[in-house]
Amino acid sequence: MQQIVVIHGGTTFNSHDEFVNSLLTKEVTLDYFKSKLDWKSNLQKELGENYEVLSPRLPNKENAQYADWKIWFERMIPFLADDVISIGHSLGALFLLKYLSENVLSKKIKAIFLIAPPFDEGAGCEPLGTFKLTSGLNLYKNQIGRISFFFSNDDLVVPPYHREKYQQSLPEARFNVFEDRRHFGQLEFPELIKEIKTNQ
């Protein structure tokens, strides 16, 4: 059975005051308070019984801290098999990039799929707080069999220049670019399913 680990996104801030200010001033609508499903909630069903999808709930996703996520992620590692596939979305993708650029995972990673990861705090990007990349990506790329990115040119959270920076840092990776997926909140993600299954 192929094991897959999915790391969800979240928001982070450079200080607690910034977090509180966001709670007080963030523009919201009624829709913001409704529960939402996206492709992550459908992944096990879409992939089928030959896959085991692990979706850990990492701590405090509304004010995420890298050190907290690292602790909980490492609690899961003993349960992982070699040749695991990792998927990260948004801040979750950046978490995987940072973790694997600073640590050697004790399990072999068959492939990694990174959906809309921010690269830095450039113009128009949300703060990255403790998730900022602080080292090069050489250790990261040496641990992974296959690296695929997914970006959309109409993403308002992670604008296209982030993709360009990853293309410079990881030119050997595969880059899937869309025009109309925004920040990949859609219910279905057939292109990701196809890439996962192609990897078998």
- First-residue to last-residue Cα distance in the chain: 11
Summarised one tens digit per residue, pLDDT across range 4-34 is 999 998 888 888 888 888 888 888 888 778 7
Q: What is the rounded average pLDDT for all residues in the chain?
A: 89
Structure tokens at 136: 């090069």
Q: Which residues of the chain have pLDDT under 70?
A: 123-124, 199-200
Query: Among 3.40.50.1820, 3.40.50.720, 3.40.640.10, 3.20.20.105, what is the CATH number of 2-11+31-198?
Result: 3.40.50.1820
The residues near 90 (Cβ < 8 Å, ≥ 6 apart) are 9, 10, 115, 116, 117, 118, 157, 158, 183, 184
Rounded CA gap, 153 and 163, in Å?
9
Summarised one tens digit per residue, pLDDT across range 173-188 is 999 999 999 999 889 9
What are the helix (H) ranges across the chain? 16-25, 39-47, 66-76, 91-102, 138-141, 160-169, 190-198
Rounded CA gap, 51 and 150, in Å?
21
Q: How far is CA 53 from the centre of its chain?
A: 15
Q: How far, in Å, are 143, 157, 162 from residue 48 at the CA level? A: 27, 31, 33
pLDDT of residue 198: 85
